[in-house]
Amino acid sequence: MAAPFVYLRPTDDGTSATALRRAAFDGNLGRLKDIIKDLGFGKRKTRNAVLAFDKDGIGLLLAAACQGHLNVCKYLVEEFGADMNAAAVGGVTPFMASAESGDVPTVEYFLDHGGDITKVDDKGCAVLHHAAGTGCCKVTEFLLSKGVPVDMDCGRGTPLFHAANNGKDKTLKILLDHHADAGADVNGKGTIVSPLMLAASQGGYTSFIKFLLKAGANPNVPDDLGWLPIEYAASRDCREEVEMLFPFTSPIPNVLNWSVDGIISHAKVKDKRPMDQNQKDSRKSILKAQADLAFRQKMYDCAAKVYSLAIDHGPTAVLYANRSICRLLTGDGEGALSDAHRCRMMRPKWAKACYRQGVAHILLKEYKHACDALMDAQKMDPESFEIERELRKAREFMGKTSR
C-alpha cells in the first residue's frame, strides 16, 4: 500500500541534504552511497551529515522507513548507527513510520533491533496505533503476534479507537479478533460526536458501523439534539444501516410503528422540522468546539468531518478556513483549495482566507496562483511571518519550475 508520507519526498533544491533525503525516500541505495561518497568528508563529519535532520526536521532513516525501504534502513542503521526511535516532526519515529508503510520485513527489522513499542508521538500514538489507524493489516497482525499490547492507551485512545475513528474496518476487525477491549473507547469517551454517530450521519460507512456495533459501541446514546444514530441513518434513507442498528437500538417512545419502515418514516418527518436559530447556533458552537479539540490533538481527518457537520448548521468563513487547513494537513489539496475559495468569498478582506488559498495552491504545485494569493494576504497583513515564509517558498518553487 502507498504510505501517507508522500510529503517527505522533497523537491530538488540542489543541496546535498535534499538529494540524500530524496534518495532515501525513493529507496535508491546506490544513489545514496554515491552522494555520501561525494561529500568528501571525514568519517565523523560524514556520520554527522547522514544522521542530521534537514531543514524540515526529517532524517534519512524516517524518509526510508515511511516507504518500507529495508535495504536503505539496514544500511543507515548498521553503517551509521541511525536511531529508529529518534522523534522527528510530530514526534513520529522511523519505527512508527515503517508501520504505516505496510512493509512487515522493515517493521520486523526495527523491532528486532530495539524498536520501542511504547514510545508515542505528539498525538499519543505508538507503533500499533500507526499501523491500525492507517489500515495496515499485515503490520497490525504482525505486531500483535509479537505480543504488542492490543489495548495500549497513552491518554488519547487505544489502537481500536484510532482504527474506528479513521474508518479502518479491516484493522478494526483484526483488533477485535485479538480481544481488544472496546468499552467506552469506541463510544468516543469525552467526545461530543462518537464514531458511531459520525458514521451514521455521514454515510459511506456501512461496514464501519457493523464493526463498531460488534466492538460494543452503544447506539442508544443521543447527540446534543436528541438524535440517535439510527435516526440519522434513516433520515438518509439508508435501509441497510437502519437494519444493522435496529436490533441494538431501544424503542423510541414516540415512534408508534417500531420497525425498520417505521423508523425511516419517523426520521424523515423529524428531519423536516426546522430548528430555530438558537438551536442552530448552539449546535454549531458545540460541533466547532469538538472539531477544534480534535485539531489540537492532531486528528485532522476527524476534525474535518466534525467541521463539516458544523457547516451544515450554518457555514462561516472561520469554519471553511479551519476545514481547509485540516484537508491541507491530510494531503487533500483540492478540498483545501475549495474551502479556501469559499472562505475568501465570504470574507474577501481577510488575510487568513488568502493565506489558506495560497498554501493550498502550493500543495497542488500551482505556484503562480499561490504567489498571487499570498501577495494579497501580505497586503492585508504585512507583519505576518507565516505569510512571508510561504510566499518566499512559492516564489522559489516557481523559479525552479520555470528554468
Mean pLDDT in residue range 234-259: 92
pLDDT for 45 equals 85
pLDDT for 14 equals 59
When pLDDT is cut at 50, 70 and 90, the band that residue 206 belongs to is confident
Q: List, for residues 271-328, the tens digit of each pLDDT value.
A: 777 777 777 777 788 888 878 877 886 778 878 988 998 898 889 999 999 999 999 9
| Same domain, yes or no: 281 and 361 | yes
Mean pLDDT in residue range 56-67: 88
| Same domain, yes or no: 292 and 318 | yes
Residue 253 located in a structural domain: yes
Q: Which is more confidently placed, 184 or 57?
A: 57
| Same domain, yes or no: 267 and 285 | no
Residue 375 located in a structural domain: yes
Q: List, for residues 73-96, the tens digit of each pLDDT value.
A: 999 999 999 999 998 878 899 999
| Same domain, yes or no: 293 and 380 | yes
Residue 255 located in a structural domain: yes
Residue 10 located in a structural domain: no
Q: Which domain holds residue 186?
A: 182-273
pLDDT for 298 equals 74
pLDDT for 3 equals 43
| Same domain, yes or no: 382 and 283 | yes
| Same domain, yes or no: 269 and 282 | no
Which of 239, 257, 273 is the endpoint of a domain?
273
Q: List, for residues 117-147, the tens digit of each pLDDT value.
A: 989 988 888 999 999 988 999 999 999 999 8
pLDDT for 336 equals 95
Angstrom distance (rounded) from CA 313 to CA 239: 25
| Cβ–Cβ under 8 Å, residues 118 and 111 | no
Residue 283 located in a structural domain: yes
The number of domains in the chain is: 2
**Burial code of 289-318, b = ≥16 C-beta within 10 A, e = fewer?**
ebbebbbebbbbbbbbbbbbbbbebebebb
Q: List, for residues 360-378, the tens digit of each pLDDT value.
A: 999 999 999 999 999 999 9
| Same domain, yes or no: 203 and 234 | yes
Which of 210, 238, 273 is the endpoint of a domain?
273
| Same domain, yes or no: 319 and 230 | no
CATH number reported for the structural domain that contains residue 236 in this entry: 1.25.40.20
Residue 312 located in a structural domain: yes
CATH number reported for the structural domain that contains residue 366 in this entry: 1.25.40.10
Q: Which is more confidently placed, 192 or 88?
A: 88
Q: List, for residues 106-121, the tens digit of each pLDDT value.
A: 999 999 999 999 899 8
Instruction: Calculate what percentage of the chain has a pLDDT beyond 70.
Output: 90
Residue 31 located in a structural domain: no
Residue 39 located in a structural domain: no
When pLDDT is cut at 50, 70 and 90, the band that residue 2 belongs to is very low
| Same domain, yes or no: 375 and 284 | yes
| Same domain, yes or no: 364 and 379 | yes
Average pLDDT, the chain: 86
| Same domain, yes or no: 192 and 236 | yes
| Same domain, yes or no: 211 and 242 | yes
Angstrom distance (rounded) from CA 80 to CA 35: 15
pLDDT for 11 equals 57
Which of 239, 273, 307 is the endpoint of a domain?
273
